[in-house]
Structure 1
Amino acid sequence: MEERKIFIDIDELKSGMVLAQHIVNKNGVFLLFEGFEFKEIEKIKEMLLSHNIHNLKVIVKEGMDDTYTKEYFQIYDFRQNMNELINDIKHKFYCIESGEEVNREDFEKTIEIAIRSCNGSVSLFKLMNKIKDMEDYIYMHSMNSSLISYQIGKWLDLKEEELKELTLSAILSDLGKMKVSKEIINKPNILTYEEYLEVKKHSIFGYKLIKGSNCINNKIKRAVLEHHERIDGSGYPRGIKGDEISLYAKIIGIADVYSALTSKRPHRDRNTPFEAIKILEEEFVSKLDTKILYLFLKKVAAEYLGSEIILNDGRTAKIVFIPSQNICKPLIEMEENGEVVDLGSNQNSKLYIKEFIL
């Protein structure tokens, strides 16, 4: 049985866990020593809280209860990796903004680490669905967009070098937001028209920051500039349309919208993957490349086949079938009685997926 050292919130403390590092209060007094086995949980919690200690590092065993499964540890590792990678990207963005040369090899190492962290039993989209509460939205969004773009690129059978270029383009796509006012970027309410116009400049800002780089080729620079262009010409900054838009920019456009829809923002809650699929089908079919979009929607929906879900009425169920039409309304099997329910039928029009268990 595998043992793991993990950081937990004090509310997650359970009997049988072993302390992985000493706990010392603000005055330097040792409260508990490494190797201490937790038994009288409530007394320990009360003591730790009295010293304003809210999290700790413990040793847990895989399978010690229903929580600590292989899937739990993959999600935990993914979260830890994303925290480190986000800090890494943040540092790189600040360096570029200050005028330093872009080091493509360093970015590619970051990409490789991110991709490796997704290679487990839990799919990328389920992993991302589990860590949407992370802070640093811009940098998390850059990571999400890059990983989603990479996955789309694989589905499109892009070559290895093209996948690297695409993924780097996606990471750099929000670089220009470093030049947008932080008050606007972090505004908790819906942006005014003038503020939105300012945010739209980030594509040009980002392009200008990498324009003179010898390490970044023109395909990547072009994708950074065009990732908000739309097939119908309604995008920005140039309002180009159709095949005037580069392939990388078309892919990143889809990844960008999906990531934004499924992330929590100050002015709205996040959408579930199937809510995002519905919005993409209804509002973006004329704006994003149709062929790539429908490939993406079908592939993402298929990732959730067999997933346990919670409905808006509180009942739990499992996704058992994804229709080729109306993808956002799968067939589900109710946990309470095994009944198969079609979320796409008129009689179930008020039912929808509220959350995924995993």
Structure 2
Amino acid sequence: MKVHAKDLEVGCIVNQDIMGRTSLPILTRNTVIQKQHIKALWAFGISEVSVEKTKADGSLFRPANLILPNKEKEKTETTSKQVGGSDQFIRTYLKSVQSFKRQFQQWQSGMSVDIAEMREVILPLTKMVAEESHLLYYINEYSSKTEYLYHHSIAVGIISAMLGKKLGLDAGNVNQVALAGILADCGMSRISPLVLKKQTALTENEFKEIKMHTAHSYKMIKEASLLKPEAKLAIFQHHERIDGSGYPTKEKNERVHLYSQIVAISDVFHAMTSERLYRSKQPIFKVLEMIRRDQFGKFNFKVVNALLDLFGNLTTGTQVRLSSGQMAEVVFTKSNYQTRPLVRVLPSEEIIDLSTQTELYISAIM
């Protein structure tokens, strides 16, 4: 919906790029509005903004005045929404984050984990993403630094489920991996809130405390009858690496369960592509390349390849933004270069092979 920029509130979600007198957007689609964004829009003289009906905290945005679009504008907004994910998914996702937050706060006060409740939170989302895989590209967009932990758990559950499906797990085990993903960090509720909210790098002792969360998580779910042993193991092992460099017990090779690796790589991927208290997010395709390069030997090749296939194999015609700010569409993806397809720059029609243009990368899916 279109609203006057003066009516924007912190937490509103932009659903179309906001352009000024520059080649690059002032704000990109899916930006969660903060105070500095409102000031920037005022400085650039932007009077109208298209936003989602739901704010990042899951509440409805009720502006004082709506700008009613004509039919052509309405058509543009509808098309944008179809590409960027359905309004239903956004509402469901944001409500799920808030549901998880409430559960987490209850765990902090000593209450036990309700696995059935966690199923109700995560499984509707995995079903939506399984039916519309392009929604995967947007689940890292709505996280804020202060709400990161809750968004992260939801996102890791979704990505873990989709990786499990990509690796050939049956529906029941996909659901178990999803539950392992969403519950992997439930033990963070046993960590000091001061450490969780710290906005600078952790001290050695604080990091030791954080590393205890895997054991806390396992203790919180070890008696749960709705979780299979493999899912419980994944919750305990999701920071292990097959080269023995992980924690808590430095397991190696086949002793790190497949489910553990699925949740682990989902955890790493979402963390790197999200805003955090002391670290800025990075573009999805840049992160995929970093994982392939820097995490070599830490994860089984088939798990890394599944992640690359899940996010990297864009279909022909997919519109993207390049790191140069240019708009383009995918022409062809080579089997060994999932993150670097051939693209046609718009509107010039120039063909660029990203596998040979290392200074360029895909910065966003449109």
The answer to whether the 8 A contact 1:101-1:213 is kept is: no
Compute the displacement of 1:166 (Å). Answer: 1.1
Cα distance in structure 2, aligned partners of 1:272 and 1:318:
17
TM-score w.r.t. the length of structure 1 is: 0.77
Match of 1:128 among 139, 143, 147: 139
Match of 1:68 among 46, 57, 78: 78
Q: Does 1:154 align with 2:165?
A: yes
Match of 2:184 among 166, 173, 177: 173
Distance 1:182 1:9, change over 3 A: farther
Compute the displacement of 1:305 (Å). Answer: 4.9
The answer to whether the 8 A contact 1:132-1:264 is kept is: yes
Aligned pairs (5 A) from 1:173-192: 173-192=184-203
Partner of 1:353: 362
Compute the displacement of 1:118 (Å). Answer: 2.8
Cα distance in structure 1, aligned partners of 2:189 and 2:65:
35
Compute the displacement of 1:138 (Å). Answer: 0.8
Compute the displacement of 1:322 (Å). Answer: 2.3
Match of 2:5 among 5, 11, 25: 11
Distance 1:351 1:236, change over 3 A: same
Partner of 1:55: 63
Cα distance in structure 1, aligned partners of 2:173 and 2:331:
35
Match of 1:219 among 230, 239, 264: 230
* Alignment: residue pair count: 313
Match of 1:339 among 337, 350, 354: 350
**What percent identity do the matched residue pairs reach?**
27
Compute the displacement of 1:215 (Å). Answer: 4.4
Tell me, which stretches of 5 or more residues in structure 2 are unaligned? 8-46, 49-60
Distance 1:272 1:151, change over 3 A: same
Cα distance in structure 2, aligned partners of 1:318 and 1:226:
40
Cα distance in structure 2, aligned partners of 1:133 and 1:191:
19
Letter in 2 for 1:64: E
Match of 2:271 among 260, 270, 282: 260
Compute the displacement of 1:244 (Å). Answer: 0.5
TM-score w.r.t. the length of structure 2 is: 0.76
Q: Does 1:317 align with 2:328?
A: yes
1:60-118 C-alpha deviation (Å, 9 max, x unpaired): 78862412335168443322212211121122233344444433222222222222443
Partner of 1:274: 285
After alignment, is 54-63 or 204-213 more displaced?
54-63
Compute the displacement of 1:199 (Å). Answer: 1.6
Q: Aligned-pair RMSD on alpha carbons?
A: 3.0
Compute the displacement of 1:293 (Å). Answer: 1.2
